[in-house]
Chain A
Amino acid sequence: MSIAAAPSISKLATGIDGFDRLSGGGVPEGRTTLLVGGPGTGKTVFALNTLANRLRDAGESGIFVTFEEDADTLIANAASFGWTLSSGGAAEGGPGIFVLDAKLNPDVAQSGDFDLNGLIGALTALKERTGARLIVLDSIDWLLAMLDSGAARRRELLRLRQWLRQEGATALLTAKTDQPLEGDAESALAYLPYMTECVVVLHHEVSRRVARRWIRLLKYRGAAHNSNASPLLIRSGGIMVIADKVDMG
């Protein structure tokens, strides 16, 4: 009878080797990971790279929900790394990475409160069609910016979390903020770490015209991980993270 170790959550390899070493195997499967960092820190590329690697390595379909970037710009960006994205529910069959354009049309008139049940419906249908279990939502700030009050933002975050949980999906949420997440309690962003099992911080700094990027695991509930900052590079083939093996000391 072996001594049962703490129930280690199953992990989904991202295929970004350094990160998988840093995190002891990847992101928590069936859970939500938050990728947080300022503009240009590589959040979107990291998420795209993960989707592309799962498709290449495990033949798994993925969904990329874009709230900010136009679908065709995103598809072109991905293509520049050699990753193929297809738009909408165009699932003529076969695995792929499917983009759901979730940008709210700016000239839509509004009268009163609304919620994100539409997005939940569209996601349900797209997940049904494609069988995707890995879902990226880029970026959560834009999703929340559509809502008028802190209460509405928290309510819709809960709705999203409940749907992800119920579908057993592995989610990568990107958040653009670089102010401290603990910020004011009112902002829903301060609420995010409580709903995400794994928080990854990306940092970007330019000094003497040299751009340096880092990645750090701020939090990983229920798993040993290496939490010091590791260099991150964006190459033509995608993200590289320079990290040694996590010490299970």
Chain B
Amino acid sequence: GQSKQPPIRLQFFVAYSAPSSRAAMATLESVMKTLEDRVELEVIDVIRSPERALEEGILVTPALIRLFPGPKRTLIGDLRSESALRRFLHDSPLQPER
């Protein structure tokens, strides 16, 4: 069943035209299906919404930002390592990065 915790909140800055972004989106989608936690995900294409890239200081894509649970942290790249992605989604500051 769905855990009662508040959902993980993510922002995902991508460029639909770029291979690394497409690969990352596929990996994130498949990992999210296996998660028990609820996830709120906002996907932003930096080419279609350049203002968002400027305001959020996004330099490279793909860039996955975890807003909650804090502190805000970022993972860039095509997410080729699912384990790195899972750690990124679940690590809380108390838990040292493995």
Q: Footprint of B on A, CB under 8 Å?
A: 88-89, 100-102, 104-105, 108-126, 128-129, 146
Q: Are A114's CB and B50's CB within 8 A?
A: no
Q: Are B50's CB and A122's CB within 8 A?
A: yes
Q: Are B60's CB and A125's CB within 8 A?
A: no
Smallest beta-carbon distance B22→chain A, Å: 12
Give the complex CA separation of A124 and B50 in angstroms.
6
**Known contacts being A104-B60, A109-B88, A125-B50, is A118 close to B80, with CB within 8 Å?**
no
* Most chain A CB neighbours (cut-off 10 Å) among B46, B60, B73: B60
Give the complex CA separation of A124 and B76 in angstroms.
21
Q: Can you name 27 A-B residue pairings with CB atoms under 8 Å?
A: A100-B54, A102-B59, A109-B75, A109-B88, A111-B76, A112-B81, A113-B20, A113-B78, A113-B80, A114-B20, A114-B60, A114-B62, A114-B63, A115-B21, A115-B60, A117-B17, A117-B47, A117-B60, A117-B61, A118-B59, A121-B46, A121-B58, A122-B53, A122-B58, A124-B50, A125-B53, A126-B54
Give the complex CA separation of A129 and B23 in angstroms.
32
Q: Footprint of A on B, CB under 8 Å?
A: 13, 15, 17-18, 20-21, 23-24, 46-47, 49-55, 57-63, 73-81, 84-85, 88
Q: Are A125's CB and B54's CB within 8 A?
A: yes
Give the complex CA separation of A208 and B79 in angstroms.
54
Give the complex CA separation of A126 and B54 in angstroms.
7
CB-CB < 8 A to B59: which residues of A? Answer: 102, 104, 116, 118-119, 122
CB-CB < 8 A to A128: which residues of B? Answer: 50
CB-CB < 8 A to B62: which residues of A? Answer: 114
Q: Considering the complex, give the chain A residue whose CB is closest to the CB of B51.
A: A125
Smallest beta-carbon distance B48→chain A, Å: 9
Q: Are B50's CB and A110's CB within 8 A?
A: no
Q: Are A110's CB and B76's CB within 8 A?
A: yes
A contact face: mostly helix, strand, loop, or mixed: mixed
CB-CB < 8 A to B46: which residues of A? Answer: 117-118, 120-122
Q: Are B54's CB and A110's CB within 8 A?
A: no
B contact face: mostly helix, strand, loop, or mixed: mixed
Q: Are A111's CB and B81's CB within 8 A?
A: yes
* Most chain B CB neighbours (cut-off 10 Å) among A104, A117, A128: A117
Give the complex CA separation of A109 and B73 in angstroms.
8
CB-CB < 8 A to A122: which residues of B? Answer: 46, 50, 53-54, 57-59
Give the complex CA separation of A186 and B31 in angstroms.
37
CB-CB < 8 A to B55: which residues of A? Answer: 89
Give the complex CA separation of A165 and B21 in angstroms.
24
Q: Are B61's CB and A108's CB within 8 A?
A: no
Smallest beta-carbon distance B32→chain A, Å: 16
- The 8 residue pairs across chains A and B that have the minimum distance between CB atoms: A121-B46, A121-B53, A117-B15, A112-B78, A112-B77, A112-B80, A125-B50, A118-B58
Option from B21, B49, B51, B84 in Cβ contact (under 8 Å) with A109: B84
Q: Are B74's CB and A114's CB within 8 A?
A: no
